[in-house]
Amino acid sequence: MPLTGTVAAAAPGAQGFDADTILTAQTASRLRQAGFAFCIRYLSRAEGQQSGDLSAAEAERILDAGLALMAIQHVEGAGWTPSAELGTNYGLAAAANAREVGFPDGVNIWLDLEGINHATAASDVIAYCNAWCDAVTSAGYLPGVYVGANAILSGDQLYWRLKTKHYWKSGSSVPDIPQRGYQLNQRIVPGDTVAGVQIDRDVTQTDHFGDAVQWLARDSAATAVSEPGLVAGAAGTASLFAARAVTLANGEWDYFDRQQFDANGHLVHSGHKEGEDPYYRRVGVYWDVGVEDPTLDGRHDVPWSAAFISWVMRSAGAGKRFVYSPQHSVYISRAIRDLSQQRQAAGYWCYRLNEQRPATGDIVCWARESGVDYDHQKGGNYAGHADVVTDVRPGEIDIVGGNVGDSVSKRTLLLNADGFLQQHNAGGELLFGLMKCRIA
C-alpha cells in the first residue's frame, strides 16, 4: 500500500540524519523532538527488503512521528568493482524495494558511491552510476548520488557525466560539484547517538541552480526546523534563516578542514588554504554566487571575506534584504543607517556592542583601518571584515569567516559579565559593531 504524504522540495537548513537502525515509534518521536526534520533509511541491493532495512511499517512510524523520509541503497563492501550491468541490477532492486516500502513517485532515492576498488576506471564508475540512475528514473523516482570516500570520480566527472542533478556530500573529504553544488551535506561525529540510535547528521540546502532534494513528508514535517542545540541568546529561538546561515557557515568551515583560533588569537588547528586545489575553486563559488563575479577564485590576491559573507547570506535565502558586496563596509554602513532610519525591510540592523547581545546568525563587524568605528564610517568605504556568529555559550561566542588565515576559520570571542561583546583590537582589527539578524 502506498505511503500517504506529500512529495515536496526540502526547505534549506533542515536538519536530519541517516541511520542503519530500525526506528521504533518511540525513537522516531524522540528524534523529532530533538529537532530533526527528516530521516534517511536503507534499501537492500537484493530482491526484497532484508532484515534491518526499511519496511513499510517502519516508514509509517517515521512519517507519523513528523519526520520526512528518503532512502539510500546499501553499498557493497570496500574494494568493490562497479559496472554498467551491476548498475542496472542494483538500480532495479532499489526501485522495486522502494515500491515495496510504499514510496510514491518523485521521491529521491540515493546511490551510495564509495569504497570502490582503486584500480577501477572512471568510465566504469560513470557507466555504473548512469545505469543505476536510468533504472531508478524509469520506475518514477529521482536518482541522487551520495559522494563518499574513494568514489574515483572528480568533481567535473560527477557534474558533467552523471545523469542526476541531486548530490549528497558525505562527511569524508570529497570533491565539490562544479556549478551546481550539493543539496545535502553530511557530518560524521564518531559515536553520535540520539535516543539510542547511532546517526550521521545531514542538512539540506538549495543548490546553486535552485534545486533541492525531494522527500516524502506529512504536513508536520514539511517545514525545516532549527539546528538541534542552536543557542539564540537573549532574543530566544534562532530564526530559520539564522539556522540556515549558521549551517552554511559551519559547513564551509568543515569543508576547509576546520581551521580554528582560540580566544587569545592563537591558531589551534590549521586547515586547507585558499590557493590549494580544489579549495581555490570553492572560493570562486563565493565570488560567483555571492557577488556575481565569476572572474575570481582563491588563486587571485584579492580579499574574499566579504564574498564569503555574501555567499552565506544569498544561499541562506536573504534575498533583497541584504546588500551583497565584495566590500564589508558597504553592508555594515547600510545596516547602521537602516537602524537609525528604522527601515523595516532591512534584514540586519547594526548596533553598538553594548546595545545588543549576540545570537546565532548575527554578524560581528570589524574595521581594518584607523579612524573607523561605529560613529565614523567614512561614507561606507573602508577596509573592514565580518564574521557570522555560529554558537553562543556562557561567556563566549564562536564566529566563522572567510579569508581568515587564508581559509574559512572559526574564532572564539569573549563576552563580558552581562553577555555583551566589548570593543577591542585583535590582529590589527577593531571590533566595533553587531549586525542583528531580523530575517525569520
Task: For strands 142-147 and 167-169, give the pairing.
Answer: parallel
List the single range of 5-9, 221-225, 412-416 with lowest mean pLDDT.
Answer: 221-225
**How high is the pLDDT of residue 219?**
64
Residue 234 pLDDT exceeds 50: no
Over residues 196-215, mean pLDDT:
92
Band the pLDDT of 96: cuts 50, 70, 90: very high
| DSSP E strands, 52-188 | 68-73, 108-113, 142-147, 167-169, 184-187
3-class DSSP state for residue 430?
Answer: strand
CB-CB contact of 49 with 79 (8 Å): no
Task: For strands 38-43 and 15-18, give the pairing.
Answer: parallel
Band the pLDDT of 238: cuts 50, 70, 90: low
Residue 15 pLDDT exceeds 90: no
Running DSSP on this structure, what letter comes out for residue 290? I
Which residues are within 8 A (CB) of 215 and not within 5 positions of it... i.e. 6 or more apart? 7, 8, 10, 38, 68, 69, 70, 107, 108
Over residues 246-259, mean pLDDT:
90
Residue 244 pLDDT exceeds 90: no
List the single range of 63-72, 216-225, 277-286, 402-411 with lowest mean pLDDT.
Answer: 216-225
Instruction: Give pTM, 2 decimals.
Output: 0.56
Over residues 310-332, mean pLDDT:
94
The pLDDT tens digits of the residues spanning 376-406 come to 999 999 999 999 999 999 899 999 999 999 9
**How high is the pLDDT of residue 220?**
47
Which is more confident, 255 or 149?
A: 149
Residue 223 pLDDT exceeds 50: no
Nearest Cα residue to 258 out of 407, 424, 88 = 407
Query: What sign does the CA torsion over 320, 326, 331, 334 have?
Result: negative
**How high is the pLDDT of residue 232?**
34
Band the pLDDT of 224: cuts 50, 70, 90: very low
How far apart CA 131 and CA 108 sit, in angstroms, is: 16
**How high is the pLDDT of residue 316?**
87
Band the pLDDT of 247: cuts 50, 70, 90: confident
Instruction: Name the average pLDDT for the chain.
Output: 92
**How high is the pLDDT of residue 248?**
87
Q: Mind listing the domains of the chain with CATH numbers?
A: 6-221 (3.20.20.80), 233-437 (3.90.1720)
Task: For strands 108-113 and 184-187, give the pairing.
Answer: unpaired
Band the pLDDT of 274: cuts 50, 70, 90: very high
Task: For strands 259-261 and 214-217, give the pairing.
Answer: unpaired
C-alpha dist (Å) from residue 201 to 35, 187, 189, 366, 388? 12, 5, 8, 33, 21
**How high is the pLDDT of residue 233?**
33
Q: Which residues pair with 396 in a beta bridge?
A: 393, 414
**How high is the pLDDT of residue 351?**
98
Residue 348 pLDDT exceeds 70: yes
Per DSSP, helices labelled H in 220-271 are 240-255
Band the pLDDT of 39: cuts 50, 70, 90: very high
The pLDDT tens digits of the residues spanning 157-193 come to 999 999 999 999 999 999 999 989 999 999 888 888 8
**How high is the pLDDT of residue 227?**
37
**How high is the pLDDT of residue 133?**
96
Running DSSP on this structure, what letter comes out for residue 74? P
Number of other residues whose CB lies within 10 A of the CB of residue 10 = 26
How far apart CA 66 and CA 121 sit, in angstroms, is: 43
Q: Which residues pair with 69 in a beta bridge?
A: 39, 216
**How high is the pLDDT of residue 21?**
95
Residue 16 pLDDT exceeds 90: yes
Q: Which residues pair with 64 in a beta bridge?
A: none
Nearest Cα residue to 176 out of 142, 211, 207, 214 = 207
How far apart CA 316 and CA 309 sit, in angstroms, is: 11
Running DSSP on this structure, what letter comes out for residue 108? E
Which is more confident, 234 or 156?
A: 156
Q: How far is CA 306 from the centre of its chain?
A: 19
